[in-house]
Structure 1
Amino acid sequence: MLAMCVAEARPAVLTVSAMRFLTGVVLALPVTAVAPEPLKVLQGAAAWVLSIFAIYLFNGVTDVAGDRVNGSARPIARGALDPGSALFVAGVAAVLSLAVTLDLPGPMTLIVGANLVLGYLYSGPPVPLKGSSGGTVAVLVLSGLLSYLGGFTLAAGGQAVGTPVGLLVFAAASIYWMTLVGVPAKDLSDCEGDAAAGRRTVVVTRGERACRWFMSVAASVLVVALFAAVLLLGVELVWVVVATAVGAVAVVGAGRVRLGGGTRREQRRPYRAFMATQHLVHITALISGI
């Protein structure tokens, strides 16, 4: 059951969530007086990932109807995982995520707790924010900021220190990628289920062509903006720019494929390109920072 819960929470999402937190730690090191203890870093990352695990598992429980319309193969949608059991595991994970922060810098408990609240507001009653692209973007922006803030807070030991420009630039670029590229990429493959659930996403309200166009333009603009920021501010993120450019090409290429009559696998090409780019960019940042 636990293995199916992990599958429901999407291992790729859990992995990139850990990398966001760790990137916040690594890019904060230039302004910290003392490097944080490795075990404390792992403890903080575990707390953060547990909160994401609880959020995505809860989302799977609330998304079951739409997922089945979309033909999702995740455990709850295909009937292999009982929603009640998944909800119980999500609750336990949420409590554990808070418990793990108790001997970490004080703000960590607030950061993880705020993330759990956002997760509930995204999927839970009475008006889940995932019902619209605007609500989804708002949650992703705040949760993304919290992930890097958590890493920064742990690296700084809870002390008040200035945030490195490199971390600010990277976090802004990453959140831009999640919201203005990732949201439309996911909406493209989930259109039927979202429409059946009454959600007002971009692809439901504006159509597939407009959604693909928006996603492609957003990816291209990010590469130019990030390159300009690296040049003007002198931050050491050149290889991150290269990784982002590679990902943008992949997303634009995937978005040009006609999705309307394709298989589920074909429909998810833009989202898979978006997700792979997230991993590539964060791995690049971690290697560069270390």
Structure 2
Amino acid sequence: MVTLSGVRARRWGLPFSLVRLCLSEARPVVQIIFLLRFASGSALGSGMTASVLLGAFAWECAVVFVYLLNGVTDVVEDAVNASRRPIARGALPRGFARGFAFLAGGLALLAGLAMGAEFFAAIAAFMLLGYLYSAPPYQLKRHPAGAAVVVTLGGLLTYWGGLASGDGTTGGLLTNWGDGTPGDPLLAAGVLAVAMSLWMGLVGTPTKDFSDTAGDAAAGRRSAADLFGASAVRRGVGLTAIALGGAYLYAASALAPMLVPAAAVTLAGAIVLAVLAVSPLSRGSRKAARLPYRVFMATQYGTHLVVALTL
């Protein structure tokens, strides 16, 4: 005898499991770091107001849209790279994932409308960039410069969204950036946003390619290593990471002293990443080649957690 609860389990078990797989495909580790970026912008702006919760929900829905759509369009390279993500291993149908992505995107835009014009502009621009990055015929991910620009702008928009949500619906961020003196929280927000967005675009984007060259080639993507050579790119990424970490620490000490501990974490992570990038430890297997990217991601987490502790 089949009970009513059993019927419900059969009816709803599959969709619920697919929703869970969609969230897994959208990369929880990425969703969390975007939430930390957003929260940092909010905290350095007008503080953690009630509107921040709605704004954070909207932004996370937008992140799910962007990264789930990316998973749908990355199926060739993910399969070649032996990725264990749900779509690549055949556990999540692409059609369901695509539909869920646009559902999340719709929720993001609806919640964004309730946040005011400035926040809505930021979240709509973020989602548009994500679409242009992944979806044909644009697929800016196929070109190193296009990928770096999209990732950097996506970071800047996330901090902007956090600031705008903390400011409620007044839309004051476009005209009010504090007094501009060292220690001003809004100036600190600008320093953090620029430094960590460049960290994403100029360090994270090429570093991620270290482990994905085979899949990128199969999908027709031109990585920086293809254009300039793997060794040159590894050295360039290492130098860029250290230069960016040093510049962030200098800007923090001059303009935003509250960010000095976080900037020190970034510089320390940059040095480790640079050493690994040119070291034999990050060559050979895909797991080894992914080490610099893991350091990149850990540095982001460490930086933002120190920002939270400092505030």
**TM-score range relative to shorter protein:** over 0.9
Q: Structure 1 residue aligned with 2:177, among 162, 177, 180?
A: 162
Query: What secondary structure sits across from 2:136 in the alignment?
Result: coil
Query: What secondary structure sits across from 1:141 in the alignment?
Result: helix
Summarize the Cα distance change of 1:248–1:36 in structure 2 as closer, same or farther, 3 Å threshold.
Answer: closer
Q: Could you say which residue in structure 2 is the equivalent of 1:37?
A: 49
Task: Quote the Cα distance in structure 2 between the aligned partners of 1:98 and 1:145.
Answer: 18
Task: Quote the Cα distance in structure 2 between the aligned partners of 1:97 and 1:131.
Answer: 26
2:27 corresponds to 1:10: yes
Match of 1:203, as an amino acid?
A
Q: How does 1:204-219 map to 2 (within 5 A)?
A: 204-219=226-241
Match of 1:16, as an amino acid?
I
Query: What secondary structure sits across from 1:73 in the alignment?
Result: coil
Shift of 1:241: 1.6
How many residues are treated as equivalent by the alignment? 283
Alpha-carbon deviations, 1:135-168, whole Å to 9, x = none?
0011112211110111111222222421521111
Summarize the Cα distance change of 1:138–1:234 in structure 2 as closer, same or farther, 3 Å threshold.
Answer: closer
Query: What secondary structure sits across from 2:91 in the alignment?
Result: coil
2:42 corresponds to 1:25: yes
Shift of 1:42: 1.4
Shift of 1:185: 0.7
Task: Quote the Cα distance in structure 1 between the aligned partners of 2:260 and 2:282.
Answer: 37
Q: How does 1:102-181 map to 2 (within 5 A)?
A: 102-157=113-168, 158-159=171-172, 160-162=175-177, 164-181=186-203
Match of 1:129, as an amino acid?
L
Shift of 1:183: 1.0
Q: How does 1:254-273 map to 2 (within 5 A)?
A: 254-258=276-280, 262-273=284-295
Aligned identity (percent) is 40
Shift of 1:48: 0.6
Alpha-carbon deviations, 1:108-132, whole Å to 9, x = none?
2221111111111111111211111
Task: Quote the Cα distance in structure 1 between the aligned partners of 2:65 and 2:106.
Answer: 9
Please report the RMSD computed on the Cα atoms of aligned residues, expressed in angstroms: 1.6
Q: Structure 1 residue aligned with 2:60, among 40, 49, 52?
A: 49
Query: TM-score, normalization: structure 2?
Result: 0.87
Task: Quote the Cα distance in structure 2 between the aligned partners of 1:230 and 1:13.
Answer: 25
Shift of 1:103: 2.3
Q: Structure 1 residue aligned with 2:274, among 252, 255, 265?
A: 252
Match of 1:175, as an amino acid?
S
Query: TM-score, normalization: structure 1?
Result: 0.93
Query: What secondary structure sits across from 2:206 in the alignment?
Result: helix
Q: Could you say which residue in structure 1 is the equivalent of 2:259?
A: 237
Task: Quote the Cα distance in structure 1 between the aligned partners of 2:140 and 2:259.
Answer: 33
Shift of 1:234: 4.7
Q: Could you say which residue in structure 1 is the equivalent of 2:77?
A: 66
Query: Are the aligned partners of 2:119 and 2:164 in contact in 1 as well (CA < 8 Å)?
Result: yes
**Which structure has the larger Rg?**
2
Task: Quote the Cα distance in structure 1 between the aligned partners of 2:251 and 2:131.
Answer: 35
Query: What secondary structure sits across from 2:280 in the alignment?
Result: coil
Structure 1: where are the runs of 5+ without partners?
30-34
Match of 2:49, as an amino acid?
E
Shift of 1:85: 0.8
Query: What secondary structure sits across from 2:257 in the alignment?
Result: coil
Match of 1:220, as an amino acid?
I
Q: Which moved more, 1:158-167 or 1:185-194?
A: 158-167
Q: Could you say which residue in structure 2 is the equivalent of 1:32?
A: none
Shift of 1:235: 3.2
Task: Quote the Cα distance in structure 1 between the aligned partners of 2:190 and 2:39.
Answer: 14
Shift of 1:100: 1.6
Query: Are the aligned partners of 2:282 and 2:291 in contact in 1 as well (CA < 8 Å)?
Result: no
Query: What secondary structure sits across from 1:101 in the alignment?
Result: helix
Task: Quote the Cα distance in structure 2 between the aligned partners of 1:48 and 1:252.
Answer: 32
Shift of 1:237: 0.9
Alpha-carbon deviations, 1:24-57, whole Å to 9, x = none?
111113xxxxx5533x211101101110111100
Query: What secondary structure sits across from 1:119 in the alignment?
Result: helix
Query: Are the aligned partners of 2:282 and 2:292 in contact in 1 as well (CA < 8 Å)?
Result: no
